[in-house]
Structure 1
């Protein structure tokens, strides 16, 4: 199962993301991402380039709540060369934009299934809804989904993971994001069928491995857990 380290805290890209990335670069992380809010476009572009130059796959997660803002974020992701776009709910609109965007070839899109609301985001919706949406998203050309399992408000998180796995039916990747803050949760996600997970705040604020004093130390523990 892949670990995607998000250079984010409280659902925003950290302001010193470029310095933090240089600090943790020796760890050789294979998957690194950021949010579409918290820093300006120039910083996002430089950060994405640094991630890709390191050999890692780059991710950007959309937290913009309005459809128009989410489409603008998708446009930014394509233009700065992000490899994986996560989040958002206007799936048809984003796919139309990406399919018609020069230079967007190879950009995989992983929207939010369920009913995400607010910022920081919470997730409503039943397992049945999530499974049906995952099937529909694949039909629209998505590469998989970005499930906010541990932000669930109406269902058991692992029931949602299993539902998403069933809906993807082996044809798309299942990424789980939000509040993954322990080795126990990582193992549970893997057993339920998750392909990859993101951690940002839990690494920065010490929720994961609270006795470790450095970010590098916590990231090593996360890598060991997966």
Structure 2
């Protein structure tokens, strides 16, 4: 299962994202993501270039639950040339904007709400959304399982896994090894961690970002 380190806190790219890369560059993290909120376009362009120069796969996750803003994020992803675009629910319009690129698209399953984002939807709703996304041509889904409001997170993961053959990424509010192990057993292909590393939740008695991330990288 892949670990995707998100350079984000509270669903915003951290303002010192470039400095953070200097701090963690030698940890061997091979999947790194960010959002187009919290940093200006020039910083995002430099950030993406730096991540690719590190040899890592890049991800941009859509934050907005409003159509026009979400599609603006899609255009940003296309302009940057990220490897993967995560989030959003306007599948057909997003795929049209990504046509001709090599970007893999992983839309949200369920109903994302608010900011930071929560997830509404039962396992049946999640499964139906996953099937719809894959049928439309998406490479998989982005599932905010641990921000669920209507169901047990792992029930949602298992429902999504049973519904699709593509990539299943679980994002948001993952704070420890027990959750990560449970996600692996439920069939997730990848998980993201951002805020939990920056606020010290992964290793409560450790003081540096490197200390937070090192055990996760080693899983």
Match status 1:216 vs 2:210 = yes
Q: Deviations over 1:176-219 (max 9, x none)?
A: 00000010000011111100000000000001111111111111
In structure 1, distance between residues paired with 2:176 and 2:91: 31
What is the CA-CA distance between 1:64 and the residue it aligns to? 1.4
**Which ranges of structure 2 fall in alignment gaps of 5 or more residues?**
none
Relative to structure 2, which stretch is displaced further, 19-28 or 155-164? 19-28
In structure 2, distance between residues paired with 1:179 and 1:60: 17
What is the CA-CA distance between 1:22 and the residue it aligns to? 1.4
In structure 1, distance between residues paired with 2:126 and 2:92: 17
What is the CA-CA distance between 1:81 and the residue it aligns to? 1.2
Match of 1:42 in 2: 42
What is the CA-CA distance between 1:105 and the residue it aligns to? 2.1
Q: Equivalences for 1:132-143 in 2 at 5 Å?
A: 132-143=128-139
In structure 1, distance between residues paired with 2:206 and 2:168: 29
Match of 1:92 in 2: 92
Match status 1:131 vs 2:127 = yes
Give the aligned CA root-mean-square deviation in angstroms.
0.8
Alpha-carbon contact 1:36-1:64 (below 8 Å) kept = no
Residue aligned with 1:3, SS: strand
The alignment's TM-score, normalised by the length of structure 1, stands at 0.95
Count the aligned residue pairs.
Answer: 219
The alignment's TM-score, normalised by the length of structure 2, stands at 0.98
Runs of 4+ in 1 over 2 A off after TM superposition: none
In structure 2, distance between residues paired with 1:77 and 1:10: 20
In structure 2, distance between residues paired with 1:221 and 1:214: 12
Alpha-carbon contact 1:5-1:31 (below 8 Å) kept = yes
Match status 1:184 vs 2:163 = no
Match of 1:150 in 2: 146
In structure 1, distance between residues paired with 2:80 and 2:205: 37
Match status 1:199 vs 2:184 = no
